Amino acid sequence: MKIGTDIIHVNRVEKITIKYGNKFKQKFLSPREIAIAHKIETVAGFWAAKEAISKALGCGIGEQLSFHDIIITKNQKGAPAFALSHEAQKIHRIKESSLSISHDGGFAIAVVVIAQHQ
């Protein structure tokens, strides 16, 4: 099992979003993710989640894993989950995972636990 975490100040994401608008969001979110990220806190949470996932996988965001390789979804109750693109899944071989995202006091935080196939 591997764990990853990330925290970001929501104001940082808000300032960048105001300055660059949808171009900023499109840099790290899919159109589907943009559609479900209605609040700036959610956008910040998705950023933190993708960073946490890359940390748990031990590769960071780069050659082996891009922001767009990570697809964040929400279930009917609003709980977050994620999947990897087909190519990234072949590399990282995730067997099970759990993702938690929270925001409070101007911060968004994400924690992920990942079990990989041997």
User: Is the distance from CB of 67 to CB of 57 less than 8 angstroms?
Assistant: no
How many other CB atoms are there within 10 angstroms of residue 16's CB atom? 17
What gap in Å lies between CA 32 and CA 29, rounded to an integer? 8
Which residues partner with 108 through β-bridges? 8, 103
- Is 74 among the catalytic positions? no
What gap in Å lies between CA 60 and CA 39, rounded to an integer? 26
Helix (H) or strand (E) holding 92: helix 86-92
Query: Which listed residue (25, 50, 92, 103) is catalytic?
Result: 103
Query: Which listed residue (15, 55, 86, 92) is catalytic?
Result: 55
- Is 25 among the catalytic positions? no
Q: Which residues are catalytic?
A: 55, 103
